Amino acid sequence: MQTTRRAALQYVAGGTAAIAALGVSKGNAAPQLAIHPGPFRGTREALQEYTVPGWFQDAKFGIWSHWGPQSGIERGDWYARYMYVQTSGQYPYHVMTYGHPSKVGYKDLCPLWKAADFDPEHLMDLYARAGAKYFVSMGVHHDNFDLWNSKYNRWNAVKVGPHKDIVGLWKKSALARGLRFGVSEHLWISYKWFGVAHGADETGPLQDVPYDGHDPAHFDLYHEAATAQWARGNFAWNDAGIPDAWKQHWFLRMRDLVDSYQPDLLYSDGPFPFEDYGSSVVANLYNLSAALHGGKNQAVYTCKREEDCAMGECVLDFESGLANQIRTQPWQTDTCIGGWHYSLPLFQHHRYKTPKTVVDLLVDIVSQNGNLLLNIPLPNNGVPDSDELQFLADLTAWMKVNGEGIYATRPWKIYGEGPAMTLNQSTPGAAFNERKRKPLTADDIRFTTKGPSTIYAFVMGWPKGEVVIQALGTEDAQRPGRIVNVALLGYQDKLSFQQQPTGLHVQLPAEPPSGPASQLGITLKISM
């Protein structure tokens, strides 16, 4: 095992040359797709041998830093794109504040992201206290700007802007607190996404004057002239029209990211990219993890198209969505308390999700065999605003009491009962369906289990007096078995309960034991 680990570390240090030095055969793979040796080959078929590691199934909750130069402008999502779209909200702000994009483009804004007060140690303390068991750093967004000391891209956080290895700093602080570490990649679609930088105003005094992306001197940020075919912003979210040269470049950047930081999780923003190129990136991730963990892969790869994960190659991710059913395989929701990129209140208002909304999401997701990855958007300086700090404090208070029913649990026979079930179950599992959810109340129950004899019943509010859980009655179709004890997490005294044919009747204390946190939901620990 030590020899295998030593080889893995040599590979990380030396890249492809280290593979050659080790005498590893690359089989049918082209030299430019060389990957770390191990149990997986860079094909879809080979990746079907993948199994989701136990740590991910136990973790349930992660926090994500969706942060980069676009956050530095503090004017909302996709600024690097919308500053080149004349009809967007960001375009007039850009012209008024910085100048016309034919003169002042995104290349001129990247250095303005300073991360001047970024303190990853303090932030990771906050996130760990709030209950996160894994942390994900942005690796690179659609804006083609790498947050590490990239070998293949001069537009990176070490050379421009913060002059810091953001990914490396996040990893160090996460591992120091026992969190698993992940990175996200949004780069694959950048070739199309940034086509608008090659465009021009369609109306006005500067009509048809090319934006700065038209200049070949800036193609290393905005891509080559061929991307001008998407200058008007119309493109399909797939790899049609993207040349092999870009796919090759993407592969090298992703291999560099994985080799440099050996993440436990790699998140891809979209479908499985570029077939053999994508398969090779994922195989490299899994093989490197196996080499570093005694031959057993501990890494997770997530993507957003269901058929890509249907054969077990990866973990399915619903962006801002829920499964609304118990899925056989673990899955993930990624969402944000507000916008993905930070926005000042004067521009867009924060409109953050409340702690109650996030607790509802978390419990719903975990009861359905999923994980929640939650973005806390950071401003330019890297310091959460006061609303975000209060949100984290409220979430911390709830997780401290109720986390036992979240972590290392598995779904029960059904995921819940109550009035919200009818509406929510009618919405199929899909991205962006969270906005259609019916809010949960004290009449809604969600279930998890731990071992054969413990059920956790989450009551999604503070009910006065008695709770009745129909699915735990002696004559219910779920046949829960004889209940011998019911405890309320955060409450030391015994509860009175009766298991009747119509349901489990539990008498609650007169006052909520956990103060305001109880208003977000309480957890009954039920022993059989």
DSSP string, 39-66: S--SSHHHHTT----HHHHHH-EEEEE-
Q: How do residues 16-55 score in pLDDT, each as one tens digit?
A: 333 333 223 333 444 468 999 999 999 999 999 999 999 9
Cα dihedral 340, 344, 345, 350, rounded to 10, equals 20
In this predicted structure, the answer to whether residue 95 has a pLDDT above a threshold of 80 is yes
**In this structure, are strands 300-303 and 331-336 parallel, antiparallel, or unpaired?**
unpaired
Task: Give pLDDT, residue 435.
Answer: 83
Nearest in space to 35 (alpha carbons), one of 357, 358, 286: 286
Using an 8 Å Cβ cutoff, are 190 and 142 in contact? yes
Note if the pTM is more than 0.95.
no
Q: How do residues 194-233 score in pLDDT, each as one tens digit?
A: 999 999 999 999 999 999 999 999 999 999 999 999 999 9
Diameter of the chain measured on Cα atoms:
78
Q: How far apart are CA 241 and CA 281, in angstroms?
A: 21
Q: How do residues 98-127 score in pLDDT, each as one tens digit?
A: 999 999 999 999 999 999 999 999 999 999
Task: Give pLDDT, residue 477.
Answer: 80
Using an 8 Å Cβ cutoff, are 19 and 26 in contact? yes
8-state DSSP, 61: E
The tokens describing 335, both together, are: 């969402």
Task: Give pLDDT, residue 422.
Answer: 67
- Please give the backbone phi and psi of residue 19, each rounded to the nearest 5 degrees, phi first: -60, -45
* Cα 176–chain centre separation: 21
Q: How confident is the model at residue 426 (pLDDT cuts 50, 70, 90)?
A: low
In this predicted structure, the answer to whether residue 306 has a pLDDT above a threshold of 80 is yes
Query: What mean pLDDT is predicted for residues 278-295?
Result: 97
Architecture (CATH level 2) of domain 54-184+234-405:
Alpha-Beta Barrel (3.20)
Looking at 66-223, which runs of residues are DSSP E strands? 134-140, 180-185
The tokens describing 97, both together, are: 């504040």
DSSP code per residue over 452-475: SSEEEEEESS--SSEEEEGGGSTT
CB within 8 Å of 142: residues ≥ 6 apart: 78, 80, 81, 186, 187, 189, 190, 193, 194, 269
474 compared with 167, residue with greater pLDDT: 167
- Please give the backbone phi and psi of residue 134, each rounded to the nearest 5 degrees, phi first: -145, 155
**In this structure, are strands 466-469 and 454-459 parallel, antiparallel, or unpaired?**
unpaired
Domain ranges of the chain: 54-184+234-405, 416-527
Q: How confident is the model at residue 346 (pLDDT cuts 50, 70, 90)?
A: low
Task: Give pLDDT, residue 16.
Answer: 36
pLDDT over 90, % of the chain: 84
Q: How far apart are CA 281 and CA 257, in angstroms?
A: 10
Task: Give pLDDT, residue 13.
Answer: 40
With 0-12 CB in 10 A as exposed, 13-18 as middle and 19+ as buried, what is 494? Answer: exposed
In this predicted structure, the answer to whether residue 12 has a pLDDT above a threshold of 80 is no
The tokens describing 344, both together, are: 């000042």
Query: What mean pLDDT is predicted for residues 490-512?
Result: 94
Residue 434, H or E segment: none
Q: Which CATH number fits domain 416-527: 2.60.40.1180, 1.10.3430.10, 3.30.499.10, 1.10.287.890?
A: 2.60.40.1180
8-state DSSP, 211: P
With 0-12 CB in 10 A as exposed, 13-18 as middle and 19+ as buried, what is 215? Answer: middle
Cα dihedral 152, 154, 158, 162, rounded to 10, equals -140
In this predicted structure, the answer to whether residue 64 has a pLDDT above a threshold of 50 is yes
Q: How far apart are CA 435 and CA 123, in angstroms?
A: 28
Looking at 297-400, which runs of residues are DSSP E strands? 300-303, 315-319, 331-336, 370-375
Query: What mean pLDDT is predicted for residues 164-171?
Result: 98
Nearest in space to 319 (alpha carbons), one of 126, 140, 66: 66
440 compared with 11, residue with greater pLDDT: 440
- Residue 243, classed as helix, strand or coil, is coil
Phi/psi class of residue 75: alpha, beta or left (left: φ > 0; alpha: ψ in -120 to 50)? Answer: alpha
In this predicted structure, the answer to whether residue 5 has a pLDDT above a threshold of 70 is no
Q: What's the mean per-residue pLDDT of the chain?
A: 91
347 compared with 287, residue with greater pLDDT: 287
Task: Give pLDDT, residue 425.
Answer: 62
In this predicted structure, the answer to whether residue 97 has a pLDDT above a threshold of 80 is yes
Using an 8 Å Cβ cutoff, are 201 and 208 in contact? yes
User: Radius of gyration (Cα) for the chain, nearest Å?
Assistant: 25
Q: How far apart are CA 473 and CA 111, in angstroms?
A: 62
Task: Give pLDDT, residue 4.
Answer: 41
Task: Give pLDDT, residue 11.
Answer: 34
Q: How far apart are CA 209 and CA 95, in angstroms?
A: 14
